[in-house]
Structure 1
Amino acid sequence: MRSLADYKDYSDAQLVDLLRADDHSAFDEILKRYSAILINFTYRRVADLPLAEDLVNDVWVDLWSKRSQYAYANGFEAFIFTAMRNRVLLHFRRGKITQRYIDHFKATYCEEHESSDLLIRSNDLSALIEKEIAALPIKMREVFELSRKTAMSRKEIAEYLKVPENTVKTNMHRALKTLKTKLGPVMVFVFMI
């Protein structure tokens, strides 16, 4: 059994190997080495400390949950900063997508209503859409979000998920069909934007 002091002497590559072997102490050492740096890196991009901390925590959760799947070809530091940059970009993309839903709702449904009523309805619509997306089966939701929220092509999604392109197409079709059924035919065009 290794002592915690031993982990400080390990290289990132050694810690990653231990991480893949489900070593919690190796993960703790990685957190100690990179958390503050990643929070600073993220804060400079989002200018909101609690948000920066949340985004960094999301990356750590992803790292732990998918630790055996990742390939750290260019070194762990490059990998973790790329993952962090991608998480920040995803955060901004999601904000833009949600804003497009709200903007569309404002333009189509609420021109004649008061602004406070508009805000409530827009927020309700966004919450309803996000709720229905979250209720999709995991694979369908993952394909839908990669397609609609990160603007990846079917081919890119297939490569990212390591599945055939037809599987991506089928999951996307089923996701849209499910959302159409749950949200009604009027809302389908929102997802086509």
Structure 2
Amino acid sequence: MNKYKVLTDSNLVSLLKQRDRNAFAEIYDRYSMMIYYKVNQMLRDENAAKDLVQDLFTSIWEKSDFIRDNVGISSYLYVASRNRVLNYIQKGKTKSDYLAEIGKYSLQVSDETLEKLDEKDLMLLITSEIAKLPAKMREVFELSRLEDLSHREIAERLNLSESTVKKQVQNALKILKVRLAHYNSLGIMLLIFLRSN
């Protein structure tokens, strides 16, 4: 058994700062797919997302001394990936109004708040709330958010009208936003995961 798999994130960061390649590999294995998913959800560009995530992990290897000991690595990666996406947007590599809105909102959320996020708990919370949606609404919502299908594709797959699909997604968003409203640090998660079509 790989001894690094049982180490805490804090232990891995300490080893990373000592230039331990196996610790770096374990951090990469734990978090690269999650970070890629979030970046790709913001950019909707697989190649750009892969490049940004690769750049991020290269950077943490090269600049591991700059990672503060009291910051969880998942939060650090989340903040760093968000900043790279914002830089990418600001350099004009993409012009989408949707991305501009994410950028504007993201800047309103402090890094300190984001550093306190426990990514796994938040995703479990969101997944749990989605599971509580009415069956048909949940099915439509998951096809929209998890499989990234358009309203038209969902309508064709489920033999529904596009307007019904749109209404189901809107209703799901309303329900989830109400249920998650008291988690004020979820703003970014909601924008990424619960985006509007």
TM-score tier by shorter-chain length is 0.3 to 0.5
TM-score by length of 1: 0.47
Which has the larger share of helix? 1
Higher RCO (Cα < 8 Å, 6 or more apart): 2
